[in-house]
Amino acid sequence: MHLSLIERFSAPAFFRISGFFHNIVAAQRQRLPKDNFMRVGLPLIRSSAAVLCGVALLSLAPLACAAEPVQLEQEAESPQVEVQPGQEPGQAKADEYVSAVDLLPESTAGVIRIPELPAFCDAWERTQIGLLFASEEMQPFLDDQRERARSYFDSLNRKIGLKPDDLYEIASGEVTLAWLSFTDDKRRPYALCVIADIRDRKVEADQAAEKIDADLKAGGAVRTDVKYGDETIRVYRTKPKPGQLKIVEIALTWNDDRFIAADRESVVQGVMDVAAGKSPAKAFSSRASYQQVLADSTAEIDSANEKQATVCWQWYAEPFAMGRILREVVEYDRRDDLDVIELLERQGFGVIEAVGGVGVVAGKRFDVLHCGVVLAPGKLTKAARMLQSKNSIRLPIPTWPTEDTGAFFRFNWELESAFWAAESLVNDALGEDLFRPMIEGIRDDPEGPQIDIARDFLPNLENEVILITDNTMPAGPESDRMLVALRIKNADVVAKVVQKAMEVEPDAIKLEVPEFDVWRVERGKNDSDDIDAQLAALGFDENIDEEDTSPLLNHWAIAVVEGQQDDDADYLMFSSHSELLVKLGKRVRVGETGDRLAATERTKTIVAAIDDLNQGNEVTYDSVVHPSIALRARYELLRKGQLKDSDSLIANLLRRIVENDEDGEPDPIQAGKLPPFETIKEFFTSAGAFWEKTDSGWTMTGFLMAE
């Protein structure tokens, strides 16, 4: 859209297109032009999916590390080939065991390290989650999942030969999973490597290797035994099929000390050189950011005084390098011309150097305790100024969230600064300076609401945002509910802003609530052909697939609610369900203090734990989560095969991200064999978390209670 068209572009049409002023106008995404939102919104969603996949991989290290390759074409086995390794002097000594992180090259982008796999497994079995999976009620479901898990790992495209069961059998100590970046290799821009300590389990390793060999050959792989120094690398390859660009390669080697597996032979050779003292050690582990992340995280763990807990994992990642790798892992096909990772780097987000942390399990107080660091020591510039969170004294939980709240999240963020910092990001993404003209158009359009966002709305936002979730029973598609409350300064001015916005929203109706004005928006409630005509006149009449453009919320509500007393907080409230907004808004309005979340014993336990862990009592984010409430509706919908029909924000977002790969199978995971939630809810202990801003980024702490 050219700037010359701004005068023809009415405010209602802008509300339909823009993602700005989101909590007030909730633009309906199915009407957005492909050359704007479809270039920006969908890549952001897909990139978020890659990030989520990365978090999942980092959290599920034992599961992320393996599987056999896809079926390969059958060929005859080839003879041995001898290769002499380089003879550079090294730092490592051949007669002592060297940790796997000290063997990794400089190209390492992300690492998960389990210091002692047997100890990890033993500790995990003592947690409530471990006891849940060992319970009699879960066995019918788990029996079906074991075979499904094997099939899943067999079908992965990123293969290193090893399966989780193999690692469990052969690892006597440390297991390390690493992603390596090869930016110059367009066909294979990354590699995956697993290194396992197998001391005292050489016999088991021999047996696992022979089983892997049989499985790979049965799938058509061709094995070449490569003599490398005094050891042998088994390299499995396949003849590329027509149209195949990526080379399928698996390399394995083992001795009395360690088992090494990777999807690139050169990676295995590099690790062997360091282990043999023929190349310098600690090329990766001497990295300053790695050392700082692990040292700071370990110090926080130590301060928690959980002496009975077992250190079960350490992790580290460089966000942008791992982002590019994960984009390849999930095989994201970038069909548009917007590279979100490059966009974020251009806009200053590269200031985030690293993230990582340490997790302990089966302590006296905590089943799981994780302490981590987001390392961002530089100055925030351009759009990265959106990250300007602030530490504030951690206040008590307000009285208006009720005891049936599943989760309470609170953020302290410089909202006005973050809004304006987004300008350079949006303009960069769209390739035109449209941000300010659109904001000015909302203010000046005679046919629109004439809202002055810069004067009337943004300055009246406090820096506190509260998000709560709950659900209703019996479980149904409308059970999951969420509400966002923004603390505000001048309630009268903000209320007028909301009223003006809703008066031009064709799908909005005003509810009959005497205490305060509540507006409900329901998609398709009223005719909006006039707006569609305006968009068509501007050239925004392209057909957009319904799958990509259905709204995240089919209905929502908004209201400004004033507290009862002069010193009570006033809120701008936005909810997926008008019933939840009215219920909680009335509690704010009348100062209701009964039946409150903060008064429950389980909430007091979480708050007390945060008090002990957060010695400075200042946070930029804190949360209390009760899975026994938060998960109950989703669990029952899953068990009944109805989760796909849920109208929640999370379900709608996942439908945009995740493709249906179950070939129409009605219950692919046999969720009907799950026990009723009531029979297992005792295993779901409460959780808490908080973040704190530091001079070099943020610290992050999260935990599950032991009881």
pLDDT tens track for 652-692: 665 555 544 444 455 667 888 999 999 999 999 999 999 99
| Bridge partner residues of 518 (DSSP) | 511, 559
Q: How many residues are recorded in the chain?
A: 707
Distance between CA atoms of residues 61 and 254, nearest Å: 21
Answer whether 632's CB lies under 8 Å from 404's CB. no
Q: Measured over all CA atoms, what is the biggest interatomic distance in the chain, rounded to whole angstroms?
A: 85
Percent of the chain exceeding pLDDT 90 equals 63
Predicted confidence band of residue 220 (pLDDT cuts 50, 70, 90):
confident
What are the residues whose beta carbons fall under 8 Å from the beta carbon of 629, sequence distance 6 or more?
404, 405, 406, 470, 471
Q: Parallel, antiparallel, or unpaired for β 81-83 and 222-228?
A: parallel
Running DSSP on this structure, what letter comes out for residue 670? Answer: -
Residue 370 near residue 696, CB atoms below 8 Å: no
Cis status of the peptide bond prior to 474, with omega within 30 of 0: yes
Structure tokens at 441: 């158009």
pTM value? 0.83
Which is more confident, 647 or 119?
119
Q: Which residue has the tokens 């479809």?
A: 38
pLDDT digits (tens, 9 = 90+) for 422-481: 999 999 999 999 999 999 999 998 888 899 999 999 999 999 999 999 999 999 989 999
What is the pLDDT, as a whole number, of residue 641? 85
Position 90, amino acid: G
304 touches 169 (CB < 8 A): no
Q: What is the 3-state secondary structure (H, E, C) of 234-296?
A: EEEECCCCCCCCCCCEEEEEECCCEEEEECCHHHHHHHHHHHCCCCCCCCCCCCHHHHHHHHH
Structure tokens at 463: 């820096």
| Residue whose C-alpha is closest to residue 395's, from 153, 617, 114, 659 | 617
* Separation of alpha carbons 304 and 614, rounded Å: 10
Per-residue DSSP letter, 102 = G
Contact yes or no for 195/176 (Cβ under 8 A):
yes
Token pair of 166, please?
Answer: 């193999």
Query: Which amino acid is located at 592 in the chain?
Result: E
CA angle 130, 133, 134 (to 5 degrees): 85
User: Residues 55-74: what's their mean pLDDT?
Assistant: 32
Q: What is the mean pLDDT of residues 182-201?
A: 92
Give the separation between CA 310 and CA 126, rounded to whole angstroms: 11
